[in-house]
Amino acid sequence: MKRARGDRVFWLLAFFSSLSVIVMFTLLFYELLSNSVPIWKDGMSFITGMVWDPLKGLFGAFPFIYGTLLTATFAILLSTFLGVGIAIFLSEIAPSSLRVIISSIIELIAAIPSVIIGLWGIFVLAPFVRDNLQPLLQHLSFIPLFSGKTLSGLSMLTAILVLTFMVTPIVAAIAREALLMVPEDLKEALYSLGATRYEVVRHVCIPYARQGIFGGVILGYGRALGETMAVTMVIGNTPSISASILNPGYTMAAVIANEFTEATGDVYLSALIGIALLLLLISLAVNLVGRMIVWKWQQEG
Amino acid sequence: MAGHATDKIVVRNLNAWYGDFQALKNINLSIKKNTITAILGPSGCGKSTFIRCLNRLHELRSDAKIEGEILLDGKSVFNMDPVEVRRKIGMVFQRPNPFPTMSIYDNVAIGLKLNGVRDKKALDRVVEDSLKKAALWDEVKDKLNMPGTSLSGGQQQRLCIARAIATNPEVILFDEPTSALDPISAVKIEDLLVDLKGNYTVVIVTHNIQQAGRVSDYVAFFWMGELVEFGKTAEVFENPKEELTEAYLTGRIG
Ligand SMILES: Nc1ncnc2c1ncn2[C@@H]1O[C@H](COP(=O)(O)OP(=O)(O)OP(=O)(O)O)[C@@H](O)[C@H]1O
Ligand SMILES: [Mg+2]
C-alpha cells in the first residue's frame, strides 16, 4: 500500500515536471508571437528586409539572420575540426598524465563567463586579427570572403574566432566521451588486421562514435547561434550584409541585447521580439534536424 | 635451444607485465608450422596475455611491459613493424566482435582495403573465398550488405574468422573462440580450425579440455603465469609429466 502510494507520488511528480516544461515553452512561444504581431503585418518582408534603421522606421531582420548564421556556421565548422581532433588526441594518443591536464583545461575554458571571453576578444584577439590575420588574408582578397578590412579588428572573423574558442571545448568534451565509449576489442580487432592507429581512429572509432560526436556538434551549434555577450563585444555591431568576414556585422542575439532597453515605440519593440522568435525557431530547427539525422542513423542500425 | 626448421614461432624467456603485476613468467616454447597448438589453463593464468604478446597486441595497453624474445620464422617480432607482425599473425577474439558500423562484406574486406587492394573483383573474390572457408558463405551470400552485427553469435564469430583469414595471415590466434557460443556453433568452429591447419599455423586458447583434445596437435598448460608443461597433445593427455597438469586434466583443480 505504502509503496504503491510512493510510486504514484513519484509518477505524478515526474509527470508534472515534464508538463511544466512543455507549458513554459508554449507560454514563451506564445508570448514572443503575440508581442511581435505588429512586425508580422508586412509578413516576410521583415525577414527579408535588408535595412535596419529604427530612426527611419525601417526594420529588416536579414542582416542579423545573416550575421548569426554566418558566424555560427563558420565557428561550428572550425570547432568540429578542432574539437574532434582534441578528442581523438585525448582518447587515443595522449599519455594519461597529459590527458588529465588537457581535460581540466578544456573544462576550465568551458566555464569562463562569456563576458570575460568578450574582453579577451577585444583586448587580445581583435588587435591580433587587425595586425596579423588581416594583412595575411589580404593576399586572398580576390575571394569575396576576405575582401574587406577594419581599423579596429572588430569583425565577423573576430566573432567567429571567439565563438570557436567557446564552442570547441563543448564539442571536444562530448566527442571525447563518445570516443571513450568505443569498445576496446573493436579497436584491437582492427589493429590485429595490421591497421595503423590512424586507420583504427578512422574506420572504427569515428564511425562508432559518430552519433555522440554529432550530438556535441549540434549542441555547440546551438550555443554558437545563441551566444550574445562575447559576440556583441567583438563583432562591431553593424547591421550590414557583407560577403567578407573581415567586415563588421551583427547578430540576432546581439541586437536584442543591445537595443531592447532603448527600443521606443511598439513597432521597434515588436521587431526585436520578432527577431527573438526567429532565433528561437532557428535554434529549434537545428536541434530538430540534428535529432532527425541521429534518428536516421539509428534506424540504419 | 636452436629453432627447428619447422618452427613457425619460437618464444624465449618471455615475461609480461600489467603495471607491477607480472602476468607471464619466463615462457619458453616453440610453435610448429601447420599445427594447432592449444593453450590450456585456469582463468587468469595468462593465456590471453601470452597470445596477445605474439601479435604485439599486449603492447597497446598503456601500462603493459614485455621482455624476452619472440621469433617469427627466425626473425624477432620486436624488430619488425607491429603492423607487419599483425598482418602475418591474425587473431580471433573471445567475444564475437564484427565491426558494427560495417556491412558483412566490409567486415571481411576491410583488412584487404587497408592493405591497398582497390580492385572490386579481387575484393569480391577474397570475400567469397574467406566466407566459404569460414563456412558462412551459404548463410550470408544474399545479405552481404547487412550490418555484421545482424548475424547470430555463432555466425558473427565465423564472420570474424573470415575477417582474419581474408588478409591471408600465416598464423591465426584464437582466444577462446567458442566460449560465447552454443554447442552446435562451437562444433562448426572446431571443424573449421582443423580445416585451417593445412594452410595456417593455429594457436587456440581454450578452457575446454575436451576441445583441446579434439583439435590440437600440441598443448601448452599454463599456471599462474608460468608454462608448466608443453608437448604433443596425445602424450600430455595420456602421460602428464607434471603433477599440476594431471590435476588440471582430471578436473581436480581449475
Ligand atoms: N588490463 C589488465 N590490467 C591488469 N591486469 C590484467 C589485465 N589483463 C589481465 N590482467 C591480469 O593478468 C593475468 C592474466 O590475465 P589473462 O587475461 O592473460 O588470463 P587468461 O588466462 O586469459 O584468463 P581467462 O581464461 O579468464 O581469459 C590475470 O591475473 C589478470 O588479472
Ligand atoms: Mg583470456
* One-letter-per-residue 3-state SS of chain A: CHHHHHHHHHHHHHHHHHHHHHHHHHHHHHHHHHHCHHHHCCCCHHHHCCCEEHHHCEECCHHHHHHHHHHHHHHHHHHHHHHHHHHHHHHHHCCHHHHHHHHHHHHHHHCCCHHHHHHHHHHHHHHHHHHHHHHHHHCCCCCHHHCCCCCCCCCHHHHHHHHHHHHHHHHHHHHHHHHHCCCHHHHHHHHCCCCCHHHHHHHHHHHHHHHHHHHHHHHHHHHHHHCCHHHHHHCCCCCCCCCCCCCCCCCHHHHHHHHCCCCCCHHHHHHHHHHHHHHHHHHHHHHHHHHHHHHHHHHHC
> Using one digit for the tens of pLDDT, what is the confidence trace for B152-197?
999 999 999 999 999 999 999 999 998 877 888 888 889 988 888 8
Q: Which of A231-240, B10-19, B244-253 has the lowest mean pLDDT?
A: B244-253
HSE at residue B175, side-chain half, CA atoms within 13 A, is 24
For the domain spanning B7-96+172-249, the CATH number is 3.40.50.300
Q: Say if residue B2's pLDDT is above 50.
A: no
Residues of B with CB under 8 A from a CB of A: 55, 57, 60, 62, 83-84, 86-87, 90-91, 93, 95, 97, 99-102, 110-111, 114-115, 147, 149-150, 160, 163-164, 167
Q: What distance in Å separates residue B175's CA from the closest CA in chain A?
A: 12
Please state, in angstroms and rounded to a whole number, the distance separating the CA atoms of residues A114 and A162. Answer: 10
Q: Is the CB of B23 under 6 A from ligand 1?
A: yes
Burial of A188 (0-12, 13-18, 19+ CB in 10 A): buried
Q: What is the ipTM of this complex?
A: 0.92
Provide mean pLDDT across the span B114-135: 93
- Note the pTM of the prediction, 2 decimals: 0.88
Q: Is the CB of B95 under 6 A from ligand 1?
A: no
Domain boundaries, chain B: 7-96+172-249
> Using one digit for the tens of pLDDT, what is the confidence trace for A125-172?
999 999 999 999 988 888 989 988 888 999 999 999 999 999 999 999
* Partners of residue B147 in chain A, C-beta under 8 Å: 301
| Percent of chain B predicted with pLDDT > 90 | 81
For ligand 2, the distance from its centroid to the CA atom of residue B175, given in whole angstroms, is 7
> Using one digit for the tens of pLDDT, what is the confidence trace for A87-134?
999 999 988 889 999 999 999 999 999 999 999 999 999 999 999 999
The pLDDT of residue B185: 81
B234: part of which helix (H) or strand (E)? helix B233-238
Residues pairing with B212 in the sheet: none
Regions of chain A short of the pLDDT cut 50:
none
Q: Say if residue B219's pLDDT is above 90.
A: yes
- All cell numbers assigned to B228: 608448466
Please state, in angstroms and rounded to a whole number, the distance separating the CA atoms of residues B25 and A248. Answer: 69
> Are B115 and A194 an interchain contact pair (Cβ–Cβ within 8 Å)?
yes
What is Dmax (Cα atoms) for chain A? 78
Looking at per-residue confidence, does A41 or B240 come out higher? B240
The pLDDT of residue A301: 61
